[in-house]
Amino acid sequence: MYELDCSGVIPGCQRIIRAETQAEVFRRAVVQAKQLGVARITPKMLDTMRQKTREMAN
């Protein structure tokens, strides 16, 4: 299980995104960003997502 606290990564986001894979966390984060009006996911935003995504113990 992976987890991303998207506050500080996606403007206006206050969610914690969890999924079985890191790729699914990123996909959900991109969907969340678009719902919050982010028109473009920048390389810096993706780097921050990678840095802040944690693998959780089951």
For the chain, the domains span 2-55
Predicted pLDDT at 37: 95
Predicted pLDDT at 8: 85
Predicted pLDDT at 2: 97
**Which residue ranges in the chain fall short of pLDDT 50?**
none
Predicted pLDDT at 57: 85
In order of 29, 32, 45, the CA distances from 16 in angstroms are: 9, 11, 16
Backbone angles phi, psi at 54, to 5 degrees: -115, 145
Predicted pLDDT at 32: 95
